[in-house]
Structure 1
Amino acid sequence: MTTTSSDTAPARAAASAKGAARREKILRGVIAIIGRDGYHQQSLRELAKALEMEAQHILYYFASREDLLRSVMELWDKDSLANADPAALAGPSLDLYVAAVRRSSAAPGMSYLYLSFAADAVVPTHPGHHFIRARQARVRRDLAEAIRAEQAAGTIAPEIDPLRAARQLSALSNGLQLQALLDPDGADCDPAAEVAAAVARLRGAVP
């Protein structure tokens, strides 16, 4: 008998309320570790040791190290929305995107986790390939929708191509966060400020 993803042991473990709570505790523990120690491509064993548990216990809730890290990024994204200004949650928002970049830039370990995971996931056989592609597509789609909404409101010129501008904002954010990681002591690279300036230019506030 073949099994589907919903039949796997980690999926069954997370199905109960207790299992879901334990799973989230592990994820928040990993986020805390990365926030404290940074991300240096820790192995599952290293992460388990930092969590003061056995690697096998983590594998009871997650299918693999990649599944664990993917889930960490999903929870990080979810928290970004939970901590946002309620007024910005009515729909996709350029200001909300700037806030997300600011939050990520303030946590270099999380920035590096995403960029490193995304680079590895370029390979189609990587376990996180579809996740990264879907996440990138969602970001571009939300940015394009936000731009269209501002065009309808008259704050962004109608001749701006929403999809092209969305791609450019996404690429700018990723590139700037990489620069900030490569030169952490550099005072001239503030990803959130640069993305905010790009948004202001879209709105015509900056020449």
Structure 2
Amino acid sequence: MPRRGPYAKGRAKREEILQAALIMISERGYSKTTVRELAEAVDLSQTALLHYFGSKDGLFAEILRRRDADFQVVAAQLAAPTHLGQSVVDAVRANIGEPGFIQLVSRVSNEATEKDHVAHVYFGERYRRIRAIAADQIAQLDEGTGIDIGLTPEELAALIFAVIDGLQTQWLYDPSIDMVKVVDRFVNAIGITTERALVEPAPSS
């Protein structure tokens, strides 16, 4: 059996760190996940652990990239169902089940507004991708469905995710907020009901 070189070993250790971090954040939450404890879990010093990611910010940004799996998770939540409103509500419901990641996204996304932050490009691309997916589905809705609030599909998509982000931040302060109920009422109020289907192509004659 060929021996693994330093590069392969480094990639394997990096993967081990990310998997340990994902489990730790899921079980404890972001605020209770420390670099020291994570380093101990993978038998490294804190300095050695951060060497794999450049910095603490780099570590948590990479955790988010892995969590999104190159946007595939987010894209599947929005693009796979034929009901946009329901898929948005389902995504919020899934997020509630993992409050540690809501904490992580909220914290890092706020810090990453600085252009030199290691996660700035990541969050910019993430927001553009999910807005584009939602805007495309909104544009496909029948003109007679009642979505007429003076916004373009792109503007409406941005509004939807602004509401979700804001609600998630409030929910971290006050878990009594029923985010699923609020988002469900919101998407219905703007005309993207949880029962509204996308327009099916007309059959060819």
Using the size of structure 1 for normalisation, the TM-score is 0.72
Deviation at 1:62, TM superposition (A): 2.3
SS at match of 1:127: coil
Does the 8 Å CA contact 1:45/1:55 hold for their aligned counterparts? yes
* Equivalent in 123, 129, 139 of residue 138 of structure 1: 129
CA distance in 2 between counterparts of 1:197 and 1:133 reads 28
Relative distance call for 1:94 and 1:28 in structure 2 (3 A) is farther
Residue matched to 1:170: 161
Does the 8 Å CA contact 1:144/1:166 hold for their aligned counterparts? yes
Residue matched to 1:8: none
RMSD, aligned α-carbons: 3.5
Deviations 1:152-187, CA, capped at 9 Å, x for gaps: 7x6563665212211111111011111111013x2x
Residue matched to 1:76: 67
CA distance in 1 between counterparts of 2:191 and 2:34 reads 44
Relative distance call for 1:176 and 1:55 in structure 2 (3 A) is same
Deviation at 1:42, TM superposition (A): 5.0
Relative distance call for 1:23 and 1:146 in structure 2 (3 A) is farther
Deviation at 1:132, TM superposition (A): 1.6
Residue matched to 1:157: 147
Q: How many pairs were matched up?
A: 188
Residue matched to 2:178: 190
Unaligned runs of 5+ in 2: 1-5, 195-205
CA distance in 1 between counterparts of 2:82 and 2:69 reads 15
Deviations 1:18-41, CA, capped at 9 Å, x for gaps: 655543332221121112221128
Unaligned runs of 5+ in 1: 1-11
Compare the two structures and name the one with the higher helix fraction. Answer: 1
Letter in 2 for 1:202: I
Runs of 4+ in 1 over 6 A off after TM superposition: 83-87
Select the structure of larger CA radius of gyration: 2
- 1:105 and 2:93 aligned: no
